[in-house]
Amino acid sequence: MRRWPLLVPAALVVTGAVILFVPAGPPGASGARPAPAADPAILAKARTGDLAGMIAEAEARRRARPGDPAASAALGSLYVEKAQLSADPAAVRRAGEVLAESLRLAPGGNLDAYVGRARLAVVTHDFAGARDWALKATALAGRHGPALAALTDAYVNLGDYGKAGKTLQRLLDHAPGVAAFTRAAHYFDLTGRPRRAGEALTLALDAALLPGDVALTLHRAGEVAARQGRHKEALQAFTEAVAVVPGYLPALVGRARSQAALGRVDLALRDYADAVGRAPQPHVLLELGGYYHSLGRAGEARQQFEVLAATARLGEPDDLTLGRYHAEHGDPAVAVRHLRRELGRRESVEVADAMAWALHKAGRHREAMTYAGRAARTGMRDATFAFHRGEIARALGDVTAARRHLQLALKTDPHFGEAEAARRALAVMGAH
């Protein structure tokens, strides 16, 4: 078996900035790479997948085998797949029901149910729960690919990047394939190596056959391209993902962002509306409301924020989204409280950046800079992170650092959401 080594220099273990290496190009290369495009034959084959039909067959199998924990676990895993692709609350509920049934029937040694619960916990943002279920699975089968993939996802979302890298290495060693390569790509993107991410995604796309795998790979490719300001490439990747799995929510939202970055207002609003109509998730409502706000359409922005507030009251609190909302459109002190709670659950770079911005908006600039530094610890190239750090530096009177970070934001993506604000700030400081 070919090995895909993960190199961990001792100097970097302390910070958790683990170095991945996929042998496809010279070590250390970090430049941009075009998003991989799917071969038409792959797309055609992927479109023949029938998740609904597979679920119907698994439901029938479960009815025919009452009391069979394996039948319930298999059905639950298919509903998790549906939930990942569509964010359908009914699929989330059904997955939870049948996986719980499987565990009641076989509470010990039920590997497939453990993995299913771990994957479902990632969908519902219970990342500590995802870690715990995945650890139970890997304790049973340390080389089991799906268990290692779920554990990698849990550690990444918790912000435990050192353990994420080590777990990913085990996944690459024991189960190289779509799950391993797409996660390697995400890790490369997270650690500021978009070229490596593109190489890993090319490997993933070559190995992908199932619709969900193809759509996930294309969505990841779109994310990598968009983060580097290559929005036309991102748009193509997101569009292909939606063609493979119609209604694939992450790709619909990604396509809306790319349309917005390209100045295609009507198309961006259409995709956002489609995404919200399918599943009114809080972070999508916030994005759409923020986009309306940027267009000067205050009434429509307010409508989305009102739906966001109602959704938050009805469901589990999404402290990251609510923190971001209050930092930009509400009370920064409330934002800080939400984000403190979120940091109690996980310490990812996304949460650190959100806290930095909330503290800045609350006038607590020195504390904000501490969190901005935490957000930058993996080296991820993100224009919004750089913009936030630049504005915090400007508030602290550090003009040199402010210029450097604001220029980096525009270099990374000249069309990111706050690009005009970055240009205005540089103009005020006498730098263009």
Q: Which of 84, 122, 115 is nearest to 99 (CA)?
A: 115
- Which pLDDT belongs to residue 33? 47
Q: What is the DSSP letter of 420?
A: H
- Which pLDDT belongs to residue 3? 52
Q: How far apart are CA 275 and CA 278, in angstroms?
A: 5
- Which pLDDT belongs to residue 26? 33
**Residues carrying CATH 1.25.40.10, the chain:** 8-21+44-190, 205-270
Tokens of 23: 């042998």
pTM comes to: 0.86
What string of pLDDT tens digits covers the 432 residues of the chain? Answer: 455 554 332 222 223 333 344 333 333 333 444 555 544 543 444 344 577 888 888 899 999 998 999 999 999 999 998 998 888 889 999 999 999 999 999 999 999 999 999 999 999 999 999 999 999 999 999 999 999 999 999 999 999 999 999 999 999 999 999 999 999 999 999 999 999 999 999 999 999 988 889 999 999 999 999 999 999 999 999 999 999 999 899 999 999 999 999 999 999 999 999 999 998 899 999 999 999 999 999 999 999 999 999 988 877 669 999 999 999 999 999 999 999 999 999 999 999 999 999 999 999 999 999 999 999 999 999 999 999 999 999 999 999 999 999 999 999 999 999 999 999 999 999 854
Grouping H, G, I as helix, E, B as strand and the rest as coil, residue 20 is strand
Cβ atoms of 413 and 229 within 8 Å: the answer is: yes
Q: How far apart are CA 97 and CA 61, in angstroms?
A: 16
- Which pLDDT belongs to residue 313? 81
Tokens of 146: 């799906």
Strand partners, 6: 20
Cβ atoms of 42 and 217 within 8 Å: the answer is: no
Q: How far apart are the first and last CA of the chain?
A: 52
- Which pLDDT belongs to residue 13? 29
Q: How far apart are CA 134 and CA 129, in angstroms?
A: 8
- Which pLDDT belongs to residue 188? 96
Whole-number Cα distances in Å, 78 to 57, 65, 123, 159, 279: 11, 17, 13, 27, 19
User: In this structure, what are the phi and psi dihedrals at residue 335, rounded to the nearest 5 degrees?
Assistant: -60, -45
User: In this structure, what are the phi and psi dihedrals at residue 229, rounded to the nearest 5 degrees?
Assistant: 80, 10
Q: How far apart are CA 277 and CA 268, in angstroms?
A: 14
Q: Which of 198, 230, 235 is nearest to 411 (CA)?
A: 230
Q: Looking up tokens 């469901």, which residue turns up?
A: 315
Q: What is the DSSP letter of 416?
A: S
- Which pLDDT belongs to residue 312? 83
Q: Which of 224, 175, 174 is nearest to 199 (CA)?
A: 224
Strand partners, 19: 7
Cβ atoms of 238 and 251 within 8 Å: the answer is: yes
- Which pLDDT belongs to residue 36? 55
Maximum alpha-carbon separation in the chain: 74
Q: How far apart are CA 229 and CA 415, in angstroms?
A: 7
Contacts of 21 (CB under 8 A, 6+ apart): 4, 5, 6, 7, 27, 196
Q: How far apart are CA 54 and CA 418, in angstroms?
A: 44
Architecture of the CATH domain 205-270: Alpha Horseshoe (1.25)
- Which pLDDT belongs to residue 41? 47
Tokens of 418: 């706050």
Cβ atoms of 349 and 371 within 8 Å: the answer is: no
Q: Which amino acid is at 168?
A: L
DSSP 31-59: S--PPPPPPHHHHHHHTT--HHHHHHHHH
Contacts of 219 (CB under 8 A, 6+ apart): 237, 238, 241, 248, 250, 251, 254
CATH H-level, domain 8-21+44-190: superfamily: Tetratricopeptide repeat domain (1.25.40.10)
Burial (CB count within 10 angstroms: exposed 0-12, middle 13-18, buried 19+), residue 138: buried
Q: Which amino acid is at 376?
A: A
